[in-house]
Amino acid sequence: MRTSLRRPLPEVHAAIGALEAAVDAHIAGDRELAAVKFVEANCPVTWHWLNDAWINVFRNVVISKPEGDTQQIPKAERDPDRRIKPGIKQAVLARDGYRCRYCGLPVVNADIRKIAAKLYPGEVPWNPRKPAEQHSAFQVTWLQFDHVEPHSHGGKSSIENVVISCALCNFGKDRFTLRQLAMEDPRLRLPMRSNFDGLERLRQAALSLGISASSDKRSSQNGDGDRFGAILPDAETFFFAGASINGAYVNIPPTNGKARWFKLGDKVSGRTAIRNGVEGCIVHCARTMLDRRGIDADLYLDRWSLTRP
């Protein structure tokens, strides 16, 4: 039984090392060296190692129908909420750290990649619709939350069934069971402890310059489900705990017994965010738009955005 779909190549580890060196150089104020290291981290060998496992996930299957394996169950019998709740994500990340529970690769939140792309747009390419135009080191380190027992087989979105995963182990594993993939259960091994911080130090350095993952000036849709719009002169920033982005809409949990939503566009921008360990959405718009929906704007003002540098 293997521990992961593919053993990381030396070039993959070298690319991640270059990525760390780029972040450290940026923090030290050496933008020239940071740019060189970001380019070095975008390794073609790493890109092919990862993307070959994404193109045809059926190649990863070792046994199509293992004896005694779990089976898909009717949709009506599955966990009704496939989405992993914010509290579960926080607990899983605290337990597993920034390491894939399958292969052990370091992983990085997509926000960090977005910040790096803003700081070094030429050296950190990321086209959400074209994998060939995505920075390979940020691809392989893309932090994921994986259902060990597939949701379609009755797997729950629980702390016990969710682990931190790299992009290859999550997307390459796809809908298949561990038995089909001839993989060991990662939960039988203790999480790999390390000092790797998920490159979160870049987030803090960027915030000191007023740069964040949400500072796009034009409306765009990225591969992580966040939608950003223009910075409007009369707009304010609001945080809604438990809100989610679905297509062109931010869906707000019921307030005063009624669910609300905002359509993203020229007058409203939004993104996912975490405040005090709670996951939700940031909505940037004029407070009159909240008034129309019967929402007390003062209760949802994003205090963090008011106090950041």
pLDDT at 120 over 80: yes
- Listed residue (194, 172, 196, 222) closest to 60, CA to CA: 172
Contact 19, 3 (CB under 8 A): no
The dihedrals phi and psi of 87, each to the nearest 5 degrees, come to -65, -35
Structure confidence by residue, pLDDT tens digits, 95-106: 999 999 999 999
At residue 208 the predicted structure's pLDDT band, cuts being 50, 70 and 90, is low
Q: What is the rounded distance in angstroms from the CA atom of residue 184 to the CA atom of residue 191?
A: 14
Question: What is the percentage of the chain residues whose pLDDT exceeds 70?
Answer: 87
Residues whose CB is less than 8 angstroms from the CB of residue 145 and which lie 6 or more positions away in sequence, other chains included:
84, 89, 92, 162, 163, 164, 165, 170
Global confidence as pTM: 0.69
At residue 130 the predicted structure's pLDDT band, cuts being 50, 70 and 90, is confident
Comparing 56 with 239, the larger pLDDT belongs to: 239
Q: What is the rounded distance in angstroms from the CA atom of residue 50 to the CA atom of residue 138?
A: 11
pLDDT at 305 over 60: no
Comparing 19 with 73, the larger pLDDT belongs to: 19
At residue 210 the predicted structure's pLDDT band, cuts being 50, 70 and 90, is low
Q: What is the pLDDT of the chain when averaged over all its residues?
A: 85
- Mean pLDDT, residues 266-293: 83
DSSP 259-306: EEEEE-SSS-EEEEEEETTEEEEEEEE-THHHHHTT--HHHHB-HHHH
How high is the pLDDT of residue 274?
78
DSSP 154-220: T--SSTTTEEEE-HHHHHHHTT--HHHHTB--GGGS-----S--TTHHHHHHHHTTT--TT--SS-E
Q: Which helix (H) or strand (E) holds 142?
A: none
Q: What is the rounded distance in angstroms from the CA atom of residue 164 to the CA atom of residue 251?
A: 26
Tokens encoding 204: 């803090």
Q: What is the rounded distance in angstroms from the CA atom of residue 175 to the CA atom of residue 216?
A: 34
Amino acid in position 57: V
